[in-house]
């Protein structure tokens, strides 16, 4: 009985070692051979092997600027054997704009930016008097 008690106490007093294992998703392999751009109605869509690119929410991916479309297509074309989404900044930014995950309206964004102007470290007042009209295009 005494030996069982000692075993129990030694198990309770021994340091518990826990290992935490992080499980990262496997990198996505590059599934396309060729990137392209389709232009229609002033919008530019990116294609991967003739299939149109979509946003994470499933909406069609498009941009309204040809240089931006070329830059996004170049990001996809620069991927080697696996797709590293963290290196595709323009694709990520454009997808966020299209999906609008916060559900913000245009005026909400304008109000946020106007309130932020007072904290901007780059914005400063000049000693030269000049026209200080702030024009906001909505």
Q: What is the pTM of this model?
A: 0.64
Whether 136 maps to a domain, the answer reads no
Question: pLDDT for 69-110, tens place per residue?
Answer: 999 999 999 999 999 999 999 999 999 999 988 888 989 989
63 in a structural domain: yes
- Confidence at 59, pLDDT banded by 50, 70, 90: very high
Percent of the chain with pLDDT over 70: 73
Question: Which domain, by its residues, includes 38?
Answer: 28-119
From residue 74, how far is each of 10, 64, 69, 110 by CA, in Å? 62, 16, 8, 31
Tell me the CATH number at 80. 3.30.2180.10
**Number of compact structural domains in the chain:** 1
Residue 135 forms part of a structural domain? no
Selection from 91, 90, 134, 89 nearest residue 113 by Cα: 134
Poorest-pLDDT segment among 7-11, 29-33, 44-48: 7-11
């Amino acid at each position: 009985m005494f030996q069982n008690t000692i075993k129990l106490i030694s198990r309770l007093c021994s340091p518990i070692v826990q290992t935490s294992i992080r499980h990262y998703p496997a990198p996505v392999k590059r599934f396309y051979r060729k990137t392209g751009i389709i232009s229609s109605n002033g919008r530019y869509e990116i294609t991967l092997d003739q299939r149109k690119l979509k946003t994470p929410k499933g909406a069609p991916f498009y941009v309204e600027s040809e240089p931006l479309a070329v830059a996004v297509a170049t990001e996809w074309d620069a991927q080697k054997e696996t797709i590293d989404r963290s290196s595709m900044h323009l694709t990520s930014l454009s997808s966020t704009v299209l999906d609008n995950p916060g559900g913000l309206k245009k005026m909400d964004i304008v109000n946020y930016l106007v309130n932020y102007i007072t904290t901007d470290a780059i914005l400063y007042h000049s000693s030269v008097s000049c026209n200080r009209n702030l024009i906001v295009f909505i």
